[in-house]
Structure 1
Amino acid sequence: MMKRFILTFFLVTITVSLSNGQTVDVKYLNPKFGTGDPYKHFRFGTSGEYYAGFMWNNTNGAYGNGDDFTIFTYGNRDINLRTGTGNFIVFPSSGGNVGIGTTNPQSKLDIYRRGEEVSLLRFSTERPWEFIQTGTGGGSGLALRSKVNSKYFRIQSPEGVNNTVFFTSNTASASRVYLVPHGGRVGIGTGSPDAELTVKGKIHTQEVKVDLNGSVAPDYVFKEGYELRSLEEVQAHIKEKGHLPGIPSAEEMKEEGVNLKEMNLKLLEKVEELTLYVIQLKKENGKLKESVEVLEYNLKN
């Protein structure tokens, strides 16, 4: 009875002191509330309703994973941690982690939530972004979704240069991805690209369009004054070099690769030259045909 009286007197003294704006210095505080339960706690509220509280939790899984300190509220009340002009810092002395939705965080910040379209993290700027889960089970994934239509997401250098830009839109044909738009190189299958796009492997596509960009299509072959090699000259070049005039050798192509635009233009040049050779042969064949017809006529008469 005497202990209960002393404890009541102690609490009343603290309550009166705090209500008068005074400070009570203590070295250790070991509340007896909750004795016999797996936790000790202070609660704020009235005799008929609790609002919030502090708890040292020993083994109760409802307030953590055991052996921890808990700040809790009742009902739909928030917990606000508000600083003045200072920072809010979570700094575990032994390198612990922060968990949201989990009592067993596995990284510095571990956010746990499951389900189709659940929101995991949101950046509430003027045009918000949100990380959400898509799908469930083995088909689940993580998506970065714009919460408004037509929005840019940029990856920038320390000086603000756009290295990669994503433009998202509900209209699929309006969406864009810009890789190194201000210069640089992209490598696929390689860590040392030697051009704006370097692919070490196969490319499967339906169509490739190449700009001439200063190159000249070989229609000059058909212009008057074009110096067409004679077939004898072509034959001599093939005999000496082992390849067509103006076409790289097999060794050159193996060592330096093949420039598709340049090679296609050279091959078109050869096709047009072949066309001229065919026209010449047709003319010669026509003359031979006329000569044969004259000879046949003379033989018959």
Structure 2
Amino acid sequence: MNKETLTFEQITNMDLPNIILYAAPVMIALVAFEWYLSYRQKKDFYDGKDTVAALVIGLINVGMSAAIKVITFGIILFFYNLVPWTIPMTWWAFIICLFWLDFWRYWAHRIAHENRFWWATHVTHHNSEKYNWSVSFRLSWTQHIKIIFFIPVALAGFHPVVFFIVHQLAVLYQFWIHTEYITKLPRPIEYFFTTPSHHRVHHATNEKYLDKNYGSTFIIWDRIFGTFQPEEEKPNYGLTTQVNSYNPITLNFHEWSDIVRDVKNSRSLKEAYAMVFTRPSELEAKKKEFEAAYEKSRLKVNG
């Protein structure tokens, strides 16, 4: 039996709930509670301006997600209709989809740290020097282009509705792991799931913690692909070069601005390409490499 092709009208008529929008008031209330608790206990977990910036970034991002939901759904629907097979909308389809989606979330996240172009869509999430529940709101306004990494989920035959629900649940999972109040959990949980301990490592600037623990819901991908690092020493948070700004515009676009500047200052297409796609941690070394090559070429020309 041939798979029925879904139309955009069929999907939109389902009027699927925006789970993240409904959860937002609860998350904001929990942020307020954690903020109050850290204040009473005199812990340096929050900075007022930093938290307000995170809330502004998060609320605008929720609005953007709702506004472009049609586009997101359209992309997933298009690729779902390309394949002749489908996975029935059963309870186990949601579980399998969660694992398959999380696998691609791992690689999307990893690439966002290993490629400067994609880092620009993610750096907003890391430019806070604090680590608390409000940090989960700091999602870049340009992150939505990463939908291309999730096309394999549609091509696997998962119904767009299954994708839509599972994706929102996966995003919501990220909220609770952004805290310093939860230390280590029982070993089976720590081994299989991404926990606050794992994610603190991911947000740290300590040399041994850089580019580690990309797992979204499950930490097993890091264990499989060699990017796992347990939490040992106390993490320091933020970027290796801090932004020092609370302006949401700056926090979202500072890396894009730096990319444009570096491309404009490039002296060749090769250099311009490198300025866009080099691994962020290797950028300064790459700049010195091009500068040395340029100087060598200049001296050769001048005899």
> Shorter chain as normaliser: what TM range?
under 0.3
Q: Which has the higher contact order (CA 8 A, sep 6+)?
A: 2
TM-score normalised by L of structure 2 = 0.18
Which structure is higher in strand share?
A: 1
TM-score normalised by L of structure 1 = 0.18
Which structure is higher in helix share?
A: 2
The structure that has the greater radius of gyration is 1
